[in-house]
Structure 1
Amino acid sequence: MKKYLIQLVLVFTLISLSGCLNDLDVEPIDPNLITSANVYETVEDYKKGLAKLYATFALSGQQGPAGQPDIEGIDEGFGNYLRQYWNCQELTTDEAVLSWNDATIKDLHWHTWTATDVFIAAMYSRIMYSVALCNEYIRATAGNDDPDISKFHAEARLLRALAYYHAIDMFGNPSFVTEEDLPGAFFPEQIQRADLFAYIESELVAIESDLGDPQFEYGRADKAASWMILAKLYLNAEVYINEPKYTEAIAVLDKINNSVYSLAPDYMHNFVADNQTSPEMILPITYDGINTQTYGGMVYLLHAQIGGSMPTYDLMGTGEAWAGLRTTSALVNKFDMDNDGRALFWTDGQSLEINDIGLFTDGYAITKFRNRKLDGTPSDSDQPVMVDTDWPMFRLADAYLMYAEAVLRGGTGGSTAQALTYINALRERAFGDGSGNITAGELTLDFILDERARELFWEGHRRTDLIRFGVFTGGDYLWPWKGNVQEGAPSAAHRDLFPIPSTEIGANPNLEQNTDY
């Protein structure tokens, strides 16, 4: 899939623009002009179109690394989907701070963002842009009985469901459009959270049989990817629709945990330049230093975590240090620093406590994501800036942790014994032996929240996890600089949701703002 990611240029724009000519039934004189009439002629054409949908999560424009951006109003590197998603999920929590002063970026960590925040607006726009392209492709592939194209069609519906899952989690009640809403000028309706939950669920259930079996082709969404989205939907159902669905989560997670995926023997295998060979990767966002170039995504995460005395090329496999991202003592203190192999902190020249968010050496740095292979050799492309490391959106360890949590929250169909087995498998990998194993009595919800931080830190889950456990806002759990106070301060409950961007509210009379924004 990687090789297709940047081959399709402006196709979907031209498809939309050509819609006004339909009634005239005209064909272009220039045979080289791509329109909806000739863009899809072979299965290979359809696969390139599908690649554009995957690329909306990885890239930020039609050219790369900059130029011809997908969305306007923000620097193209900043406007990247993965970069904004990561910032919203991590900079708002105890896991990450950023030293830069770009616009309102520090408001995320301080919990002081507003409805005019440019980064939140970029996230919302990215979601809706991905939905729009998926809708167009779904229309183009509907009713096609070619088995490959039927699979492509199902994947497009899954990617749309993934974007809408991000919308329900971050914004609650977004605009809603499907393939039934044909291109043209209209005000999209706003969908309520419960209705969007039902829609995402129904879509994922409907397409399951048309998706590929687990691990059928790396980089493409398979049945296990749909199960992961469903499991996350069910695990967070009490937040989204005020209704527990832990039993449903266990049933779906059993499918994942009993499939062909297995834990990588080495934890680091999931975060290096050859992580495409990890048996744990369920759905990645793929990157290639030559063919997928952007200043967002993994380029941002790798370079922004490097600074101070950290080696660049020899350790991290890159040629630049952007000196931005670090973590807080709240995360560090959850680790057994001497024995847990997941404690991937750079401490040389770094202080544990953060007196000044704007100073890179305040706060431990992270060495989790690297552009070197697991054996330490350079990445295949060996580029000084662009990277080969894929983003582990969904991996098996998360499914193990979700299973244990769903059992502890009262879901039926699972067992505490199996949950304990899954957790200790993660800890045996982390500690190198059974010395870090826990007992059934130690397996509590508080333990799970901390273990998710240890296993999954900086992987884009933390904000959602803290909200599900009821400690993202309020004063029950404080971390450094929460509430724009060094020792941490409570924040208002309405910040469990981001605001609908004020530009969207002003442009669409059908939209109502989330409470207290």
Structure 2
Amino acid sequence: MKKIIYTMILAAGVFSTTACVDELDQTPHTEITSGDVYTSAANYKSVLAKVYASYVIAGQEKGGGNKDIATTSGYDYMRCYFNMQECGTDEMASTWLEGDKVKDISYLTWDASDPWVSDTYYLIYQTIDYANEFLRNATDDNISKFSDSDRALIKQYRAEARFLRALSYYHAMDLYRNIPFVTEKDEVGSFTPPRYTSSQIFDYIESELKDIDGDLLDRSEAEYGRATKGAAWTLLAKMYLNAEIYTGKARYSDCITYCNKVIGDGYSLEGDYSKLFNADNQKRTNEIIFPLSVDATHTVSWGATTYIVCGEVDGNSSENPLTYGVKSAWSMFRLRGELTSLFASGDKRAMFYTKGQSQYLDTGIDTQTNGYLMTKYRNLLDNDSVASNTASYGASIDFPMFRLADVYLMYAESVVRGGDGGSIGTALGYINKLRERAYGSTDGDVKTTDLTKNFILDERARELYMEGTRRTDLIRYGKFTTSDYLWQWKGGVKDGKAVNSKYNYYPIPQTELTANPNLHNDNY
């Protein structure tokens, strides 16, 4: 059994909202109020667990039943975020363009009424809302009645809630750019959030993450699944890597500084790449810095990693679903040829099923025999036994939101882009560590002259494919919407085409624009 902190309290009055539309208005399930709940440190921890769980579950019941947001499609935050980061890139080919309503995000033709654009937005703000409400009840005044030891615990929980809110604001900034801003200090219900630019949101997240550094736990002290100092440092590194997109100012030296802090905290690469994505990956705390915890007891979901592992298996192919530890094959997506062509012979990260599949999408993005099938995620324990019955209880694979390999790649890219505080020799060493794991030898090692920006972009694809980073990477490189890099069916045509630069971010949903006069979408 995984040791996670998802012992949850789901009580009316614990979470109230500050959104301006009905999408986030919740119907109470009981008559319990916040005054009844925030009575012990244990209860604070239970409420904090709901903030963590909001990334991977969508409702009060198994599989997202009794939805937290009644007007969404019922999918969880992680499934939405995964699709928003992968569907429109050179990595994912979606099978059910019409049935899953992903045609527009696959072809880069969405608008402000797209269901995935809308659901992702509201789920992000629901998590921000949950964190805000927790923090309203965790002020120094509110916890003054507790013992010194309990106050110390709640201050740790408070720092974690601020980290989770910062993570969600980072997702909102990255996906939507200029967004509404609300904290625990704003009034509930009658408050109309102002519009913050991405630069303002960036500054806020940066200040929050730095401010909580002293209260977050060290990695050696924390329960599995909880945010640590290393998680906050990694998020800062990711922000600094992309700072020029959000603020207009490059911050590569700062990225190197925080990569060094993470690397210096004692993390190490897992020896077997495949074990980072199985149902025992909670054991990989040497490399996984921050996971979204998922299991078939506490967080039963038809989204999260259940969606990824069942979605990668094609029921119409010769694959055996049990090979992946699943009971059913959803046939949701395949990999595009532009991705799979990046791998050389001997690279063990090339986890593909090719039998009966063409490499490229020559006859259509939704043709199931076009594109290799991914075999990266497996609902199997280390001993190859099945972890859970996915048909009834969902998968038990944690999603590695942050891991050391990404930090190595961020360090290398920042050095190549001219950041101070690192060296090209150290960057080369980190890259070759990744490649030696991938090849099981030094056969895949590269030289200093190979470390170009484009090489690192390709190496990020090889190492991190289908981990929710690709859209952000392509935008940072100026390749997501432009003609500098075309892939099949980009823009909805077989050979690919450039699209309007407005598709570098998603629009605020139309329902939110109607409700909040402070908001508007540029170019939509």
TM-score normalised to structure 2 length:
0.92
1:510 aligned residue = 518
1:86 aligned residue = 82
2:235 aligned residue = 229
- Which whole-Å deviations, capped at 9, do the CAs of 1:280-311 have from their partners, x for residues lacking one? 11110011112211111111111111103353
Secondary structure in 2 matching 1:282: strand
- Which whole-Å deviations, capped at 9, do the CAs of 1:194-223 have from their partners, x for residues lacking one? 111100000000001100002422100000
Question: Which of the residues 137, 159, 164 maps onto 1:159?
Answer: 164
Distance 1:2 1:54, change over 3 A: farther
Q: 2:489 corresponds to which letter in structure 1?
A: W
Secondary structure in 2 matching 1:47: helix
Question: Which of the residues 380, 387, 392 maps onto 2:400?
Answer: 392
Question: Which of the residues 166, 169, 174 maps onto 1:169?
Answer: 174
Question: Which of the residues 369, 376, 384 maps onto 1:361?
Answer: 369
1:47 aligned residue = 45
2:353 aligned residue = 346
Q: Contact 1:15–1:35 at 8 Å: present in 2 too?
A: no
Is 2:304 aligned against 1:297? yes
- Which whole-Å deviations, capped at 9, do the CAs of 1:441-476 have from their partners, x for residues lacking one? 111111000000000000000000000011001111
- Segments of structure 2 that go 5 or more residues without pairing to the other structure are 18-29
Secondary structure in 1 matching 2:365: coil
Q: 1:183 corresponds to which letter in structure 2?
A: V
Question: Which of the residues 453, 458, 461 maps onto 1:450?
Answer: 458
2:489 aligned residue = 481
Is 2:324 aligned against 1:281? no
2:260 aligned residue = 254
Q: Contact 1:316–1:372 at 8 Å: present in 2 too?
A: yes
1:265 aligned residue = 271
2:16 aligned residue = 16
Question: Which of the residues 200, 212, 215 maps onto 1:195?
Answer: 200
Q: Contact 1:104–1:113 at 8 Å: present in 2 too?
A: no
- Which whole-Å deviations, capped at 9, do the CAs of 1:146-181 have from their partners, x for residues lacking one? 111110000000000000000111101111100111
Deviates more, 1:67-76 or 1:323-332: 67-76
Q: 1:72 Cα deviation (Å)?
A: 2.5
Number of aligned residue pairs: 497
Question: Which of the residues 88, 93, 98 maps onto 2:94?
Answer: 98
Secondary structure in 1 matching 2:253: helix
Question: Which of the residues 377, 381, 394 maps onto 1:373?
Answer: 381
Q: Distance in 2 between matches of 1:130 and 1:258?
A: 31
Q: Distance in 1 between matches of 2:466 and 2:219?
A: 25
Q: Distance in 1 between matches of 2:297 and 2:384?
A: 20
Q: 1:130 corresponds to which letter in structure 2?
A: T
Secondary structure in 2 matching 1:295: coil
2:63 aligned residue = 65
- Which whole-Å deviations, capped at 9, do the CAs of 1:356-410 have from their partners, x for residues lacking one? 222222111101111002332222x455451110000000000000000011111
1:128 aligned residue = 125
- Segments of structure 1 that go 5 or more residues without pairing to the other structure are 18-31
Secondary structure in 2 matching 1:394: strand
Q: Contact 1:324–1:360 at 8 Å: present in 2 too?
A: no
Secondary structure in 1 matching 2:400: strand
Q: 1:468 corresponds to which letter in structure 2?
A: R
Secondary structure in 1 matching 2:212: helix
Q: Contact 2:11–2:33 at 8 Å: present in 1 too?
A: no
Q: 1:312 Cα deviation (Å)?
A: 4.0
Q: 1:62 Cα deviation (Å)?
A: 1.2
Q: Distance in 1 between matches of 2:273 and 2:306?
A: 21
Q: 1:503 Cα deviation (Å)?
A: 1.0
Distance 1:291 1:340, change over 3 A: same
Q: Contact 1:155–1:211 at 8 Å: present in 2 too?
A: yes
1:314 aligned residue = 322
Q: 1:67 Cα deviation (Å)?
A: 2.1
What is the percent sequence identity of the aligned residues?
A: 43
Q: 1:185 Cα deviation (Å)?
A: 2.1
